[in-house]
């Protein structure tokens, strides 16, 4: 088993366990997709569809974290992206015009990309610590979104093609799943089939050494924050399209924390360096499945946060080689222990 598969093993096992719990409590229908109005449905497909915005944000976050950064502003950028698009659409006379919807989406994406790039400039060129640089927009961003919507919740007509972005389907697969899958594949190809991924890990490992080695680390840093902002804006558009409205205050609330959680569950260390887009994806699906599991096993709302904390705690422990070593020690055969333990440690490091 190579190091990559090993990283993925624990999150995958947790996900399988969660799915098993759901199948036991609600039956095999949980995992089997059904078709409704030419759109795939069923519990698990719904989870994937609802997880799409979180996945987009978590993928962007993974790249940022690979450069030893963090982006706390994604939830606010989500709200800004949603607010711009919805407000533009309700301000126009014909909400069903395709041209209007396309330009609203384009403007929202450009603005959120610029916001992301601004975060990157503050980090790379002004030397502000990422947590502080992005905290600024985390606090101010929702205010900006409220200014855009005038403190109201703009409601787009159901007939507007904009809602397709969240509710529609292409070849029966819900559009949010398509978008998230395409972004995942694009980012994976971009970082694994070109040198970009290696450059990212290099910048995250040691920005100064990377610069001396001839890597334009500042430009790369700005690029990843830009991508992260763009992903957050796209996530906001999907969320707003699903509801047909943009809620400046609650849209994507705490999504930055769920995204960081997903990245960590997926095996990417907050210290920067190596990153795992597929691990992040599994982390996102774990979080999405967990929310349904709480309802399906009949826990009351009061248990929601505690149950989430317990699962995250277990994942974090399983991810720790030190914990696994300590926990599994009594079960290991004595003669084998001295021979395998150092080797395993070396792989883990």
Name the nearest CA neighbour of 228 among 65, 93, 40: 65
Find the binder of other proteins among 8, 15, 19, 30 (CB under 8 A): 30
Residue 36 or 194: which CB sits closer to other proteins?
Answer: 36
CB of 246 to other proteins, least distance (A): 10
- By CB under 8 A, residue 91 contacts other proteins: no
Burial class (CB in 10 A: 0-12, 13-18, 19+), 98: exposed
- By CB under 8 A, residue 121 contacts other proteins: no
Find the binder of other proteins among 4, 16, 36, 329 (CB under 8 A): 36
Find the binder of other proteins among 71, 256, 258, 292 (CB under 8 A): 292
How many residues belong to the site for other proteins (CB under 8 A)? 48
- By CB under 8 A, residue 273 contacts other proteins: no
Name the nearest CA neighbour of 207 among 127, 119, 116: 127
Joined together, the tokens standing for residue 319 give 């991810």
CA–CA distance, 249 with 142 (Å, rounded to integer):
6
Which part of the chain contacts other proteins (CB under 8 A), choosing from 8-16, 96-104, 274-282, 293-301? 293-301
CB 73 within 8 Å of CB 134: yes
Residue 271 three-state SS:
coil
- By CB under 8 A, residue 301 contacts other proteins: yes
The full DSSP string for 273-292 is S---HHHHHHHHHHHHHHHH
Residue 321 C-beta-side C-alpha neighbours within 13 Å: 13
- By CB under 8 A, residue 71 contacts other proteins: no
Find the binder of other proteins among 135, 184, 196, 278 (CB under 8 A): 135
Site residues, other proteins (CB under 8 A): 26, 29-30, 36-37, 39, 41-43, 46, 50, 127-129, 131-133, 135-136, 139-140, 142-143, 146, 151-153, 155, 167, 239, 242-245, 247-251, 291-292, 295-296, 298, 300-302, 304
């Amino acid at each position: 088993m190579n190091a990559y598969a090993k990283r993925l093993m624990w999150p995958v096992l947790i996900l399988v366990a969660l799915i098993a719990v759901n199948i036991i409590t609600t039956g095999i229908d949980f995992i089997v997709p059904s078709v409704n109005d030419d759109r795939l449905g069923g519990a698990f497909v719904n989870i994937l569809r609802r997880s799409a915005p979180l996945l987009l944000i978590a993928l962007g976050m993974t790249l940022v974290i690979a450069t030893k950064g963090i982006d706390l502003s994604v939830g606010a950028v989500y709200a800004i992206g949603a607010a711009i698009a919805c407000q533009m659409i309700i301000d126009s006379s014909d909400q069903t015009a395709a041209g209007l919807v396309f330009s609203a989406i384009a403007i929202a994406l450009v603005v959120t990309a610029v916001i992301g790039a601004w975060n990157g400039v503050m980090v790379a060129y002004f030397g502000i610590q990422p947590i502080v640089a992005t905290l600024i927009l985390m606090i101010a961003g929702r205010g900006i979104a409220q200014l855009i919507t005038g403190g109201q919740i703009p409601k787009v007509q159901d007939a507007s093609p904009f809602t397709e972005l969240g509710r529609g389907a292409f070849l029966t697969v819900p559009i949010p799943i398509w978008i998230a899958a395409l972004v995942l594949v694009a980012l994976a190809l971009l970082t694994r089939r070109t040198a970009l991924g290696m450059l990212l890990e290099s910048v995250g490992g040691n920005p100064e050494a990377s610069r001396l080695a001839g890597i334009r680390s500042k430009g790369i840093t700005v690029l990843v924050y830009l991508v992260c902002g763009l992903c957050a804006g796209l996530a906001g558009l999907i969320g707003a399209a699903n509801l047909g409205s943009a809620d400046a205050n609650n849209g994507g609330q705490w999504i930055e924390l769920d995204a960081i959680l997903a990245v960590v569950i997926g095996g990417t260390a907050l210290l920067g360096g190596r990153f795992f887009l597929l691990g992040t994806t599994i982390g996102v699906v774990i979080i999405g499945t967990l929310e349904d599991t709480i309802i399906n096993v009949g826990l009351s709302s009061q248990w929601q946060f505690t149950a989430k904390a317990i699962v995250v705690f277990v994942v974090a422990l399983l991810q720790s080689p030190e914990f696994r070593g300590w926990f599994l020690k009594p079960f290991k055969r004595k003669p084998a222990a001295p021979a395998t333990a150092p080797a395993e440690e070396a792989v883990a490091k």
